[in-house]
Amino acid sequence: MFDSGVGGLTVVRALRRLLPAESLIYLGDTARVPYGNKSPQTICRFAREDAQFLLAKGVKALVVACNTASAHALESLRRECPVPVIGVIEPGVEATLAHEQSRHVGIIGTTGTIRSGAYQQALKAARPGLKIQAVATPLLVPFVEEDWLRHPALELVLGQYLEPLLLRGMDTLLLGCTHYPMLVPLLRRMLGGKVRLVDSASTCAAHTRDLLKAKGLLRAGRARGGLQIHLTDRSEQAEALARRLLKGEALRIEAAQL
């Protein structure tokens, strides 16, 4: 599994719960994070390099835990990689459509994810009548990375981003970035019970399980699988956030050179 940084560890968390026997190798490209405001060409180049690092370690499947990389690079990775590739867009779309009552879906994500149109197109294709509004919310990741999760400034920022969605009656909010599950408590407080929150972390884990099963790749036995974390930059901030996201795991973090 790879991500632009350590936000993708929310997907690791979900996968460890669902598939405890599987061994996981995680690459976080913390030296070049964020991907969200960079150009599609650069994002595709970075994603290809991340995938090469993991393929060289002999992985049997590849999870792209980064929404921006999934939005831009998934198709080319699928063409180029000799193993199954799972992204977070399809699982996010599936989780959104799981509730028949959804009529008006708001999507928030990085500038790259929203501009790609990946979520919008997939939702439209699956349910043509759905009302969809997508908003790029680039200031959210910095707040999460600073752990200012209850700060009034973050509430003002979120309020500004969500206002056009709420004005038009959004009933479902798709969290299109692996950092955003950390915002759920604040979002619940701001939105009350009227808006359903959807994130792709748990659906992505279920997708991965189904795919491994279908391909006969699921690991047998009950022994807990290993967990390796590789970061292209081992900054204090990244390591601290990794430990926060994977509380309870005995973490060994290694430096990766791409």
Catalytically annotated residues: 66, 177
With binding defined as CB under 8 A, does residue 233 bind its own copies? yes
Is residue 139 a contact residue for its own copies (CB under 8 A)? yes
Q: Is 3 in the site for its own copies (CB under 8 A)?
A: no
User: Which range of residues in 165-173, 182-190, 214-222, 227-235 is near its own copies by CB under 8 A?
Assistant: 227-235
- Does the protein bind its own copies through residue 132 (CB under 8 A)? no
- For residue 5, the minimal CB distance to its own copies (Å) is 10
Please give the torsion angle defined by the CA atoms of residues 112, 118, 119 and 122, in that order, rounded to the nearest 10 degrees.
Answer: 180
**Which is closer to its own copies, CB of 154 or CB of 205?**
154
Q: Are 99 and 69 in contact (CB under 8 A)?
A: no
Structure tokens that stand for 254 in this block: 């290694």
Instruction: Measure the CA–CA gap between 231 and 253, rounded to whole angstroms.
Output: 7
Under a CB-based contact definition with an 8 Å cutoff, are residues 83 and 60 in contact? yes
Residues within window 84-123 making contact with its own copies, judged by CB under 8 A:
111
Place of tokens 């997508």: 134
Query: Which region, judged by CB under 8 A, interacts with its own copies, from 137-145, 162-170, 205-213, 220-228?
Result: 137-145
Q: Which of residues 67-86 bind its own copies (CB under 8 A)?
A: none
Enumerate residues 6+ apart whose C-beta is below 8 A from 5. 28, 29, 30, 33, 34, 145, 238, 241
Q: Which amino acid is at 241?
A: L
- Tokens encoding 25: 């190798």
Q: Pick from 124, 131, 234, 243 the residue near its own copies by CB under 8 A.
A: 234
CA angle 32, 37, 43 (to 5 degrees): 60
Based on CB atoms, which residue is closest to its own copies, 54 or 238? 238
| Amino acid of residue 122 | A
Is 163 one of the binding residues for its own copies (CB under 8 A)? no
> Binding to its own copies (CB under 8 A): which residues in 12-51?
30-32, 37-39, 42
User: Could you say which residues in the range 142-161 bind its own copies, by CB under 8 A?
Assistant: 142-143, 145-146, 148, 151-154, 156-157, 160
**What DSSP character marks residue 71?**
H
Contact footprint for its own copies (CB under 8 A): 30-32, 37-39, 42, 111, 138-139, 142-143, 145-146, 148, 151-154, 156-157, 160, 232-237
